[in-house]
Amino acid sequence: MEKKRINKVTKIILIISIILIMIFLSVSILIAYFYNKYDLDVNKLTSINNGVRVYSATGIDSTLYNTNRSLIEIDEIPEHVKKAFIDTEDKRFYSHNGYDIKRIIKAGLVNLTTKSKSQGASTISQQLIKNALLTNEKTYSRKIKEIVLSSKMEKQFSKDEILEMYLNTIYFGSNAYGIENASRVYFNKSSKELTINEACCLAGLIKSPNKYSPRLNYDNAISRRNVVAKLMYECKDISKEEYEDIINSPIELTFNNDTSNGYEVEAIHEACRLLNISERELINRGYEIITYKDDTIQDNVENANKNVISETSKQYDVPLDSVSMVADNSGKVVAYFVNSNYDLHNMKRQPASTLKPFAVYLPCIIHNILTPATPILDEEIDIGGFSPNNADNKFRGYVSTRESIAHSLNIPAVKTLDYVGLNKSKEVLTDFGFNIDNADLNLSLALGATKRGCTLMQLVNAYACLANGGIYKEMAFVDKILDRDGNTIYSHEDYFERVATKEDAFLITNMLEDSSKTGTARRLNSLGLPIASKTGTTNNGTNNTDLFNVAYTTDYTTLSWIANIKDNALPKGMYSSIEPTEINKNILKYLYSSKDKKEFDIPEGIEYLPYDTSVWHENHLVVTPNHNIDRYIAYDYFKIDNKPAQPNSNDNINIDVQIDKLGSIISFDSKKYANYNVYKENKDGKSLVANVCEKSGKVELIDKNIFKHDEITYYIENDLGEKSNVIKVRPKDYLIGLLNNELSSGKKRWSV
């Protein structure tokens, strides 16, 4: 029995050995076959000019520092820095010939059993070849080419030369290529000065620069750094004490990020998306990117941002992060400035009240639920336990839709969203480019609270859509992309889609103009321009965290955003109506310093119509006036299929008269805008009882001089030409009835 078991084990070992030998032979044969097929481009491998050039619209070269890498020689790099990368990426670096057959066999078995290509088994040499010469595609043919070229490279260069080239070309995220640039970006020092802790951090993040970036994902960076430290300890390159000291220490970042190239960074990201390649591939292929950047506007946007941010940072002694941008409404981003030590590309933040026009009011305008003049009651509410407050904790009673938007009131927004429904809100938000989860479908959406937040570009795209009369375009940084031979491989083409009618977009725009005149963005009013604007302030329950201002004209859409990413809290005294609005004000002032202002076009389906303010205040309705008293008439814009209602046809003067001991008690409902004359007629003729002016609601009068008359007729006329019903009373009949009641106990009755 024991013998059979041994034989079975022997067979299994033999089968596995045969499989491994077959894999080895197959790989060896393939490598031998392809060895002469692929040539190593030594010039491209060793070139320090691999990179992408980024040009403004006027042709100025804005090449980034990552394309002219700061190189460092291998002898200047500390041993612990080299070991951190070798122990993590390629333990047998100094013993293999460009590829590690053990890792290849292991990866091959894993990929066969999992039916995937997840295991790459790349050595440092292979990674260098891939980074400098190949693409990122996961194919076996590319892997074979990688192995062949790595083998050839190992014959032409020493291990130290290969390691030097590798460390000078790795991408570390945050726009940093090469160990020297990465050291300066993350720790503001040369790689010669890196500690073991810092070396572990940098060696760890190259696996996934975004996921393990200490700037973007600090906790992930700590975990990954600890993995690298453990590998160094297991390879006996650091002591146990050093290992324990590292894993119990923070990662101390010292930012040194050049904020002058924010536009170029975004252009590179956009180019990668358009070509469906990685940043590394884009850089190494030496492409040229022609952008829409206007250098003069860019300089002014930068100055406007820096002036406010610098002064505010000094005033409150806090670090501030900010972005300011300008998009030409034709679809071009002409200026984009980032003032931050953090990598803000594709950053998502809670948009706060900047989402209200799209989440709340536009769905109501589209479905004819609201007009700009519609009254909404601003009052204390509790909807299923949700009790929002306005920013100033005040209640204003009835306010119009226009006032609600201009002053960014929370309670009317929540009540309106509750009425229009979350599904209609989601439809509009999706059409305008916002990503809304089902988890977002609650009333806090009215205040701009979403699970994933949104990017600044999503906000610019949405507001530019309003500026364009409901036509949605994605704003673009990149005009053209050229290869190293000057051939155009991409040229921007406009894609647009109508997501709202011109009429609906105009009404929202017109109400947002009030925000820049009398509302939260009224700082813009001094420019004397037709500007629609919206502010937004995100709060974490204790402090404000984000301040937004978006403003647009017929030509441009501008956005300025401010936060304190480090502390996630802004000082009290900073508001969206102040700092970001001031930045946009200065930007727009420059943009229109030599440009004519232009009013927003009024679509054919919009009419400027009167409505009765007395009825608005008394009955909270928007109705056409049935009078011509100017002081009780207001005007607003309405869609032709959602005009003010006609006044109630039964809303006439209704007089009532009752006889009392004191005389005739005359009552009627008075409208504040009308003057009423109360008349009576008897045998002596017609006379005026009273004149009623500026009264609203029920009015009561007493006519005492009645009992000498057999019959009196009462009626009312007003200055609108309206006349009441007519009522006749007999005062003497009332007196006789009264006396008969008093004498009824004596059975004696009076008669006429």
CATH of residue 405's domain is 3.40.710.10
Q: What is the pLDDT of residue 746?
A: 52
Query: Rounded to an integer, what distance in angstroms lies between the CA atom of residue 734 and that of residue 658?
Result: 10
Q: What is the pLDDT of residue 751?
A: 46
Q: What is the pLDDT of residue 750?
A: 43
Residue 262 falls within a domain, yes or no?
Answer: no
Q: What is the pLDDT of residue 107?
A: 59
Residue 307's pLDDT band, with cuts at 50, 70 and 90, is: very high
Task: Give the residue-averaged pLDDT of 242-250.
Answer: 94
Contacts of 303 (CB under 8 A, 6+ apart): 586
Distance from the Cα of residue 110 to its chain's centroid: 43
Task: Give the residue-averaged pLDDT of 274-280.
Answer: 86
Query: Rounded to an integer, what distance in angstroms lies between the CA atom of residue 283 and that of residue 181?
Result: 15
How many domains does one find in the chain? 5
DSSP state of 360: I
Q: For residues 206 and 106, which has the higher predicted lDDT (pLDDT)?
A: 206
Q: Do 613 and 580 lie in a common domain? A: no
For residue range 296-306, what is the model confidence (pLDDT) as tens digits? 999 999 999 99
Residue 473's pLDDT band, with cuts at 50, 70 and 90, is: very high
Q: Do 426 and 484 lie in a common domain? A: yes
Beta partners for 679?
688, 715
Q: Do 489 and 345 lie in a common domain? A: yes
Of the segments 433-442, 544-553, 709-718, which one has the largest average pLDDT value? 544-553
Place of tokens 């008349």: 679
Q: What is the pLDDT of residue 69?
A: 58
Q: What is the pLDDT of residue 610?
A: 97
Assess contact for 161 and 74: CB atoms under 8 A: yes
For residue range 409-419, what is the model confidence (pLDDT) as tens digits? 999 999 999 99
Among 350, 364, 329, 299, residue whose Cα is nearest residue 541: 350
Q: Do 207 and 136 lie in a common domain? A: yes
Residue 392 falls within a domain, yes or no?
Answer: yes
Task: Give the residue-averaged pLDDT of 132-136.
Answer: 73
Statement: residue 308 has pLDDT above 80: yes
Number of H helices, E strands in the chain: 24, 24
Statement: residue 83 has pLDDT above 70: yes
Q: What is the pLDDT of residue 476?
A: 97
Place of tokens 């073991």: 196
CATH of residue 681's domain is 2.60.40
Q: Do 227 and 355 lie in a common domain? A: no
Mean pLDDT taken over the chain: 88
Among 290, 309, 299, 307, residue whose Cα is nearest residue 335: 299
Q: Do 86 and 169 lie in a common domain? A: yes
Helix (H, G, I), strand (E, B), or coil: what is residue 582? Answer: helix
Task: Give the residue-averaged pLDDT of 111-128.
Answer: 66
Task: Give the residue-averaged pLDDT of 132-158.
Answer: 81
Q: What is the pLDDT of residue 108?
A: 61
Residue 282 falls within a domain, yes or no?
Answer: no
Beta partners for 534?
550
Residue 285 falls within a domain, yes or no?
Answer: no
Residue 565 is inside which H or E element, if any? none
Among 625, 644, 641, 619, residue whose Cα is nearest residue 372: 644
Distance of CA 666 to CAs 85, 331, 377, 654, 678, Å? 98, 68, 34, 11, 9
Task: Give the residue-averaged pLDDT of 270-294.
Answer: 88
For residue range 625-652, what is the model confidence (pLDDT) as tens digits? 988 888 899 999 999 999 999 887 555 7
For residue range 682-702, what is the model confidence (pLDDT) as tens digits? 998 999 999 998 888 899 999
Q: Do 19 and 132 lie in a common domain? A: no
Residue 122 falls within a domain, yes or no?
Answer: yes
Structure tokens at 25: 């032979």
Structure tokens at 332: 């071009």
Planar angle of CA 665, 667, 670, nearest 5 degrees: 155
Residue 362 falls within a domain, yes or no?
Answer: yes
DSSP state of 177: B
Residue 29's pLDDT band, with cuts at 50, 70 and 90, is: confident
567's torsion region: left (phi>0), alpha (psi -120 to 50) or beta? alpha
Q: What is the pLDDT of residue 65?
A: 38
CATH of residue 125's domain is 1.10.3810.10
Statement: residue 445 has pLDDT above 80: yes
Distance of CA 504 to CAs 68, 358, 361, 466, 643, Å? 50, 11, 10, 9, 14
Assess contact for 235 and 249: CB atoms under 8 A: no
Statement: residue 11 has pLDDT above 60: yes
- Other Cβ atoms less than 10 A from the Cβ of 453: the count is 19
Q: What is the pLDDT of residue 1?
A: 53
Q: For residues 556 and 651, which has the higher predicted lDDT (pLDDT)?
A: 556
Statement: residue 623 has pLDDT above 50: yes
Q: What is the residue range of 15's domain?
A: 1-37
Residue 66's pLDDT band, with cuts at 50, 70 and 90, is: very low
DSSP state of 61: B
Q: What is the pLDDT of residue 113?
A: 58
Residue 445, class by beta-carbon neighbours within 10 Å (0-12 exposed, 13-18 middle, 19+ buried)? buried
For residue range 356-398, what is the model confidence (pLDDT) as tens digits? 999 999 999 999 999 999 999 999 999 999 999 999 999 999 9
Residue 606 is inside which H or E element, if any? strand 606-612
Determine the angle formed by the axes of helices 218-234 and 79-89, rounding to 10 degrees: 90
Task: Give the residue-averaged pLDDT of 250-270.
Answer: 82
Q: What is the pLDDT of residue 82?
A: 95
Residue 286's pLDDT band, with cuts at 50, 70 and 90, is: confident
Query: Rounded to an integer, what distance in angstroms lies between the CA atom of residue 547 and that of residue 456?
Result: 12
Q: Do 151 and 190 lie in a common domain? A: yes
Statement: residue 497 has pLDDT above 70: yes
Residue 220's pLDDT band, with cuts at 50, 70 and 90, is: very high
Residue 31's pLDDT band, with cuts at 50, 70 and 90, is: low
Q: Which residues of 367-393 are buried (b: 16+ CB within 10 A; e: fewer)?
A: eebbbbbbbbebeebeeeeeebebbee
Q: Do 671 and 631 lie in a common domain? A: no
- Other Cβ atoms less than 10 A from the Cβ of 310: the count is 12
Statement: residue 68 has pLDDT above 60: no
- Over its C-alpha atoms, the chain yields an Rg (Å, rounded) of 39
> Which of 591, 624, 648 is at the close of a domain?
591
Residue 280 falls within a domain, yes or no?
Answer: no
Assess contact for 354 and 535: CB atoms under 8 A: yes
Query: Rounded to an integer, what distance in angstroms lies between the CA atom of residue 80 and that of residue 195?
Result: 8
% of the chain residues with pLDDT over 70: 90
Q: Do 660 and 630 lie in a common domain? A: no
Q: Do 33 and 118 lie in a common domain? A: no
397's torsion region: left (phi>0), alpha (psi -120 to 50) or beta? left
Beta partners for 729?
712
Positive/negative CA dihedral, 188, 192, 196, 202: positive
Helix (H, G, I), strand (E, B), or coil: what is residue 677? Answer: strand
Q: What is the pLDDT of residue 139?
A: 74
Query: Rounded to an integer, what distance in angstroms lies between the CA atom of residue 364 and that of residue 657?
Result: 46
Q: Do 587 and 626 lie in a common domain? A: no
Query: Rounded to an integer, what distance in angstroms lies between the CA atom of residue 467 and that of residue 253?
Result: 42
Among 539, 563, 571, residue whose Cα is nearest residue 317: 571
Place of tokens 């640039």: 181
Residue 619 falls within a domain, yes or no?
Answer: yes
Assess contact for 329 and 552: CB atoms under 8 A: yes
Distance of CA 182 to CAs 198, 214, 565, 655, Å? 11, 12, 21, 87
